């Protein structure tokens, strides 16, 4: 039986400073919103990244 190939779609990830610039707030505000659960980051090692889909949901609030 053959296994189906799974295709992955690349996800654009943004850093905290990039998100802060797009939202026109400070880095600290973004970090506070992450802590409060308003923004859902992905952790890549020690770095924090925000997926584009999460960023768009955050900006639409």
**pTM for this one?**
0.80
The per-residue pLDDT for range 15-28, each reduced to its tens digit, is 999 999 999 999 99
Q: Over 80: is that where the pLDDT of 4 sits?
A: no
Torsion of CA 25, 31, 32, 37, to 10 degrees: 110
In this predicted structure, the answer to whether residue 3 has a pLDDT above a threshold of 80 is: no
Q: How far is CA 52 from the centre of its chain?
A: 6
Q: Coil, helix or strand for 25?
A: coil
Per-residue tokens: 32: 């506070």
Give the residue with greater pLDDT, 23 vs 1.
Answer: 23
Cα angle: 32, vertex 52, 29; to 5 degrees: 15
pLDDT at 7: 82
**Residue ranges covered by each domain of the chain:** 13-59
């Amino acid at each position: 039986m053959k296994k189906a190939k799974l295709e992955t779609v690349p996800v654009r990830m943004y850093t905290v400073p990039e998100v802060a610039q797009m939202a026109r707030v400070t880095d600290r505000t973004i970090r506070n919103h992450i802590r409060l659960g308003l923004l859902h980051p992905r952790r890549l090692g020690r770095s924090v990244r925000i997926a584009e889909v999460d960023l768009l949901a955050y900006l639409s609030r």
